Structure 1
Amino acid sequence: MEETKNLKQLDHKTLTKSFHRWFWGALTCFSQEHMQTFGYMASMLPILKKLYPKHDDQVKAINAYTAFFNTNPMLGTVIVGITASMEQARANGQSIDGETINDMRAGLMGPIAGIGDSLIDGTLIPILLGISLGMSTGGSPLGAIFYIVSWILIAYFGQRFLYFRGYKFGDQAVSFLVGKQGAAIRRAIGIVGSMVVGGVLASWVNVTTALQLKGSNGKVFLNLQAKLDSIFPGILTVIVTLFCWWLMTKRHVSAIWTMLILVGISFVGVLVGFFNPGLTY
């Protein structure tokens, strides 16, 4: 009973302060050499001050967090929560040292980065942007407001949930993200994301041709766009979309180069009369 009373325990206020430092400062002093190292150290300072009253002990403990660290900032929150739990166990005399903590961080930052980049940057953000674009029809500011508010709420409360979940369950929280349940959730979100992006494509992308063939009497005998619409409406839009997909996924062309290629194709298309930008001079 006496040993239980003497155990060091992190309170909710300290954990919240640590989380806020990561949320606002994960990319503090970001550089190619250190990446998120300093942001991680800043988030651990409230934890170390609470667990180690002596300054020398704090300096010794923080050495475990000077190593290189970089992962997805949102899902990486769970690693910070797990670290707080491990640091608490170390302060209470369990067989955990700085090397063990650093090995955990190094082992998790790669898998979490892969999951986070595909789930957040590749799925969630396109979904939110797709919805926002639909709400911005006619120049309405509601789309921008929706995106800003929804992203802030999802980012804050999502990261807060992962931080405290990591602190409470330790490596079990990571098992959820990389296990069968996490894979099922990511697949479901990916399907929804594909539907939203497909809807945005149909609503916002419209590629048509102005090419017409005329006879000797000046009458049009072939309107290429009308003929294509009678066979497959929107086929040029589909072709351009698949072409961009092929460039970026199969040929590994960057988004910037893909846009430059489209600009070049458009320029040549206007010169030969295939496209009509509708400009008057």
Structure 2
Amino acid sequence: MTNQDDKQTSVAQEAKPERLTKKELRSIFLRYMFLPESAMSYEKMHGAAWAVSYMPLGNKYYKNNDQAYQRLLKRHSPFYNTEPQTGQLVNGIVASLEEQIGMGNTNVSEEMPVDVKASLMGPLAGIGDSLMQGILIPTLLSIAMGLSKGGSPLGPLFYIVTYAVIITIVEIVCFKGGYKLGVSAVDKIVGESAKRLTNMFTVLGTIVIGGLAASTIALKTTVKIPFGSQTKPLETIIDGFFPGLLPLIAVLFTFWLISSKRMSANKVILILTVAATVGVLIKFL
């Protein structure tokens, strides 16, 4: 090989785009972590957050190609909406695809990241909302309410710190997993593994909330039942064969209002407040 061939090979190697650095990936991750809700609009929802998140990638690969940079921002500006924390999984997948596009991989088209986002935002929203809004938040709030008995500040502190730590870990794991697996992560998102994980957290959340409801809800009546030469409170007799039956009835009634009657939490609280007030006025509670 001649010196001229060596120089040409060296120039070709230098001209070849490199992969995203850890710093650049961290920038994409952090932008999407903080911007989906703060930059949200009802027209595009998380669209603006996506465009801003991929500016570090554009600065790396399209610094001298304005048209390619514009196409990058345009394809990530349209309407997009999913659960933000677990949505980092899609962010990781798209980062992997956009990296390949920026490096000149002709097997990955510019439409592929858009198609991946469109196909995953719905299923991932269902999974993410079920885990975060339906299980994690109610479970942590239930534990926090138990810690707040007697006016202790531990409850709010526990919720704020624990929630922040958990969602940060979830976002990091999702982003790294999505980036590492690329398009192959799609099968894992909507496959049997995701369903088993959802079922596991559902059972765990139900157990925790049920246990806390039994230990924190107090429902006592003024009804006295003759018991030999003495009288005993109604709840004492009931607890003898079914401990916590009255609190359980209150929980099931609340669940029925929310699930079957589709009432909001505010309406349920109002109904329970009115019922408790009436019960006290008629000297039943």
Taking structure 1 as the reference length, the TM-score comes to 0.86
What CA deviation, in whole Å up to 9, does each residue of 1:165-200 have, x standing for no partner?
111111333332332222222222222211111121
Contact 1:128/1:147 (8 A) holds in 2: yes
CA distance in 2, matches of 1:8, 1:72: 31
CA distance in 2, matches of 1:4, 1:152: 43
CA distance in 2, matches of 1:154, 1:221: 50
Letter in 1 for 2:262: H
1:87 pairs, out of 81, 84, 98, with: 98
Contact 2:214/2:248 (8 A) holds in 1: no
2:262 — aligned with what?
252
CA distance in 2, matches of 1:263, 1:131: 22
What CA deviation, in whole Å up to 9, does each residue of 1:86-135 have, x standing for no partner?
11222214244443322211110000000001111111222323333333
| Pairing 1:158–2:170 present | yes
2:28 — aligned with what?
18
Q: What does residue range 117-156 of structure 1 map to in structure 2 within 5 Å?
A: 117-156=129-168
1:4–1:162 Cα change, 3 Å: farther
1:279 — aligned with what?
none
Letter in 1 for 2:62: Y
| Pairing 1:49–2:82 present | no
2:3 — aligned with what?
none
1:137–1:253 Cα change, 3 Å: closer
Contact 1:28/1:38 (8 A) holds in 2: no
CA distance in 1, matches of 2:155, 2:232: 41
2:128 — aligned with what?
116
1:27 pairs, out of 26, 37, 60, with: 37
1:9 — aligned with what?
19
Shift in Å, 1:247: 1.4
Letter in 1 for 2:179: Y
Runs of 4+ in 1 over 4 A off after TM superposition: 1-5, 219-223
2:194 — aligned with what?
182
1:270–1:131 Cα change, 3 Å: closer
2:238 pairs, out of 228, 233, 236, with: 228
Letter in 2 for 1:183: K
Contact 2:235/2:246 (8 A) holds in 1: no
CA distance in 2, matches of 1:75, 1:29: 18
Deviates more, 1:104-113 or 1:88-97: 88-97
1:205 pairs, out of 213, 217, 242, with: 217
Which stretches in structure 1 are left out of the alignment for 5+ residues?
A: 276-281
Deviates more, 1:78-87 or 1:154-163: 154-163
1:267–1:143 Cα change, 3 Å: closer
Contact 1:9/1:51 (8 A) holds in 2: no
Shift in Å, 1:226: 4.0
Contact 1:48/1:61 (8 A) holds in 2: yes
What CA deviation, in whole Å up to 9, does each residue of 1:256-279 have, x standing for no partner?
22112212222322232222xxxx
1:274 — aligned with what?
284
| Pairing 1:104–2:104 present | no
1:116–1:257 Cα change, 3 Å: same
Deviates more, 1:198-207 or 1:24-33: 24-33
2:89 pairs, out of 75, 78, 81, with: 78
Identity among equivalent pairs (%): 34
CA distance in 2, matches of 1:271, 1:143: 32
Q: Secondary structure at the match of 1:151?
A: helix
Letter in 2 for 1:59: Q
CA distance in 2, matches of 1:101, 1:152: 29
Contact 1:78/1:174 (8 A) holds in 2: no
Shift in Å, 1:4: 7.1
Deviates more, 1:98-107 or 1:36-45: 98-107
